[in-house]
Amino acid sequence: MSLADFIKALPKAELHMHIEGSLEPELMFALAARNKIALPFKSVEEVRAAYAFSNLQDFLDIYYQGAQVLLTEEDFQDLAMAYFRRLAAEGGVHAEIFFDPQTHTDRGLPFKVAIDGLLAGMDRARTELGITSKLILCYLRHLDEDAAFATLKAAEPWLDRIEGVGLDSSEVGHPPSKFARVFAASRERGLKLVAHAGEEGPPAYVYEALDLLKVDRIDHGNRSLEDAALTQRLVREGMTLTVCPLSNLKLCVVNDLKAHPLKRMLDLGLKATVNSDDPAYFGGYLADNYLQTAQALDLTRAEIVTLARNSFEGAFLSEAEKAGYI
């Protein structure tokens, strides 16, 4: 069996995917036309050509701009369904998806529009595609903690359908400590906690995510490897890292996939997983991330199976649900 077929046939969970980052240029144009919004691009090709980033902020500027075509519940449902169809086609069976409510409420959309649209898409994914999913609300870290508290308050009526909260957007200069109180409040409401840390930020930010935010998973975590004591602690605690190889390549966190730390992470005993982050912007969905990384790093099929097993072990599923997948 080819490596591509082996990866596709392997049941996989995706734990790090921003749904706004799955907006393909074709859908961006379709939604812009439907909503009568002018785009600063003439064609899909022109959009794709703009996707050359030299760091996280370069990408975020264009990602927030793209999200402006999302206006109605139907738009968010269509966005989610397009992602879940891609995931189903490549052997994904479960996804824990991020969304950025502040990107939408700050341009005047009611909180309800994004979340009800996404939840409708998630319900359809289960009945039409057999994919299970959970929703993680991310606080934007370039905004202040009061804005995050306002977002938590807006989410109150939906808390039974929100699995957890995360922390994303511009990392450097916005350490986890800035959000310690809103993470504590989120935890008191029974929410799971994750945070992007160590993507561009230093190991100190990973320590803060662990000690001040008390996260259940670290998103990215690459730069943890610069600190041996931190690495040992992550191994000892069995902390899941949601690693995103093609994202790391496109945002110049690594210069070449052959230099990606994923294999080193596995060799060290870290519970690493593979994820697509923002697949429409970074040139690949979940299986592409597995395949290109496996080829670049010469991963064995046993290592690929370990990555898929880690994705279920690190998921916010019950032990009984995990047992059904592993």
Annotated binding site for Zn(2+): 16, 18, 196, 277
Q: For residue 306, give Cα distances in angstroms to 228, 291, 293.
A: 23, 14, 14
Q: Cα separation of 150 and 163, whole Å?
A: 18
Give contact residues for ligand ES4 (rule: CB under 6 A).
18, 21, 56, 63, 168-169, 196, 199, 247, 277-278
In angstroms, what is the minimal distance from the CB of 219 to Zn ion? 6
Residue of 178, 272, 187, 285 lying closest to 221 (CA atoms): 272
Our CB check for Zn ion shows the closer of 73 and 277 to be 277
What residues pair up with 165 in beta bridges, in sequence order?
137, 193
Residue 217 touches which of Zn ion, ligand ES4, none (CB < 5 to 8 A by kind)?
none
In angstroms, what is the minimal distance from the CB of 22 to Zn ion? 12
Our CB check for ligand ES4 shows the closer of 107 and 301 to be 107
Query: Which residue's Cβ has the minimum distance to ligand ES4?
Result: 168
Q: Cα separation of 10 and 12, whole Å?
A: 6
Q: Cα separation of 6 and 302, whole Å?
A: 11
Pairing of strands 240-243, 92-99: unpaired
* Known catalytic residue at 14: no
Q: For residue 88, give Cα distances in angstroms to 82, 94, 156, 276, 287.
A: 10, 9, 31, 14, 11
Sign of CA dihedral 172, 176, 182, 186: positive
Token pair, residue 265, equals: 């992470």
In angstroms, what is the minimal distance from the CB of 279 to ligand ES4? 11
Query: Which residue's Cβ has the minimum distance to Zn ion?
Result: 277
Give contact residues for Zn ion (rule: CB under 5 A).
277
Query: Given 14, 20, 24, 199, which residue is catalytic?
Result: 199
Q: Confirm if 290 and 278 have CB atoms less than 8 A apart.
A: no
Our CB check for ligand ES4 shows the closer of 8 and 178 to be 178
Residue 77 touches which of ligand ES4, Zn ion, none (CB < 5 to 8 A by kind)?
none
In angstroms, what is the minimal distance from the CB of 156 to Zn ion? 25
Our CB check for ligand ES4 shows the closer of 10 and 140 to be 140
Q: What angle do CA 104, 107, 112 make, to 5 degrees?
A: 40
Q: Which residues participate in catalysis according to the annotation? A: 199
